[in-house]
Amino acid sequence: MRVYLRTFGCRANQYDTEAVREMIGAAGHTVVGSARDADVAVFNSCAVTAAAEADLRQSVRRAARENGALRSVVMGCAASLDRGTIRSLPTVSHTVHGADLAAVAAALDLPPSAATNVITRAQSSARATLRIQDGCDEHCTFCATTVARGSTRSRVIETVVAEATLLAERHPEIVLTGIHIGSWGVDLGQPLSILVEHLVRQVPAVRFRLSSLEATEVDGRLRELFRSDDGRLAPHLHAPLQSGSNGILRRMGRHWYTAEEYASAVSLLVRDRDVFGLGADVMSGFPGETEDDHRATLCLIERLPFTYLHVFPYSPRPGTAATRLGAPVSAAVIERRAAELRALAHQKATAYRATRVGAMADLVITRGGPRCEGITEDFLTVAMRQPVPRGSRLRARITNERGALLGIPDAVEAASSGYLSTS
């Protein structure tokens, strides 16, 4: 059987697709790169925005046009919330709630044993993803993920360490991911920092990175790991903000922090650090958002050391409470506010990138060949002057060439690794 895989959405979904890939390979089947060449397609869906679901439907229909004999399986969050729309798409034979591997195996006619204790060993990307938990116990009023993924469930330390050990043999960086990774261990009576500490101590020679984590969930032990200079935990935090207005945060159901508490947590983490990547999700146009609310968000972003932002125009999701919590903001106002947020984000990103020019960076090469590029510890994308093998990790000096960041490998390290000619 030839299987085509397509992923939409977050890093948790990326990991789940890699688990499906592992399951297919272990069962003796083949993953192919095109729906035209496949017998079956597995689409891993996202429900965060209406655009994500529209993209899924468009992709399923396109695959059906390309291969009329194709059979399609749709898994993930949008599949969990489907009321028949996805199931009625051409070629779709099954929808699978979330990341239920047993259900995916059944849909692919694999034996039940194929879905037992699936652990990924070699993933398709240079940087591996490792899901440490699933589900979320919070109830943000704009989010359908809690409904789609259910309550939080943590993977035990021993299982996570075992999978990380295997991934570290082939990947220089492992990104710890989940639906709400700050809740890892709630059901085990342990904090996230304990898991990260175990990984750093027991899985050597790999760089770990956390995906999205609430700023107020960084405890003292995790803060010290972030601030260490040993290169084991990337100095990078993506801390969802959503709004700088306390009134909007309350209506969003984000009760665990205020704008002031967010700012305090971030400042404590990044103080005295020249190298630290700080990102956030910010939403524009939440129902009832006023110009004062928008200005409060701009002011908070202005005074915090963000190095990038993901700006999302509000998208009403079926079944969420947000649609009942305030007057809708017009599309034109939402787009104007989003543009102002993106402009400010660009200014801050440009200013931070300028501070890194001339400094050394810890690079993981994510693309080889003539367009070679890598990711720094603080989550900057850097092009390389010389080709370096994909999946390499090396020290490089950052320069600026016509406004783009360029990495020049450390001469001694590069020569010893064979990246540069020593003649």
Q: What domains appear along the chain, each with residue ranges and CATH number?
A: 2-115 (3.40.50.12160), 128-355 (3.80.30.20), 357-417 (2.40.50)
Evaluate if pTM is beyond 0.85. Answer: yes
Q: Which H helix or E strand runs over 3?
A: strand 2-7
Q: Shortest CA distance to 362 belongs to which of 373, 377, 374? A: 377
User: In sequence order, which residues have a C-beta less than 8 Å from that of residue 53 and are 6 or more positions away?
Assistant: 45, 46, 47, 78
Q: Which two tokens stand for residue 342?
A: 């993106």
CB contact at 8 A, 237 and 308: no
**What is the structure's pLDDT at 320?**
86
- Helix axis angle, 259-270 relative to 291-303, nearest 10°? 10
Q: Which two tokens stand for residue 331?
A: 């599309």
DSSP assignment of 128-159, as one string?
A: EEEE-EE------TT--HHHHH-S-EEPPHHH
Task: Give the C-alpha separation, 132 to 164, whole Å.
Answer: 10
- Sheet with strand 173-177: strands edge to edge: 128-131, 173-177, 207-210
Q: Shortest CA distance to 174 belongs to which of 393, 413, 353, 337? A: 393
For residue 341, give the amino acid letter: L
Q: Shortest CA distance to 231 belongs to which of 362, 130, 375, 360? A: 362
Eight-class DSSP state of 323: G
Task: Give the C-alpha separation, 262 to 161, whole Å.
Answer: 31
For residue 48, give the amino acid letter: V
Task: Give the C-alpha separation, 174 to 137, whole Å.
Answer: 25
**pLDDT tens digits, 227-278:** 998 999 999 999 999 999 999 999 999 999 999 999 999 999 999 899 999 9
* Residue 418: other Cβ atoms inside 10 A: 10
Task: Give the C-alpha separation, 237 to 210, whole Å.
Answer: 7
**What is the structure's pLDDT at 316?**
87
Which residue carries 């898991």 as its tokens? 195
Is the dihedral angle over the CA atoms 354, 359, 362, 363 positive or is it negative?
Answer: positive
Task: Give the C-alpha separation, 116 to 113, whole Å.
Answer: 5
**Environment class of 257 (CB within 10 Å of its CB; exposed 0-12, middle 13-18, buried 19+):** buried
Cα 410 from chain centroid (whole Å): 29
- Exposure on the CB side of residue 304, measured as CA atoms within 13 A: 31
- In which residue ranges of the chain is pLDDT below 70? 411-423
CB contact at 8 A, 92 and 6: no
Is the dihedral angle over the CA atoms 174, 273, 312, 383 positive or is it negative?
Answer: negative
**pLDDT tens digits, 377-399:** 999 999 998 899 999 999 999 99
The most distant pair of C-alpha atoms in the chain lies apart, rounded to whole Å, by 69
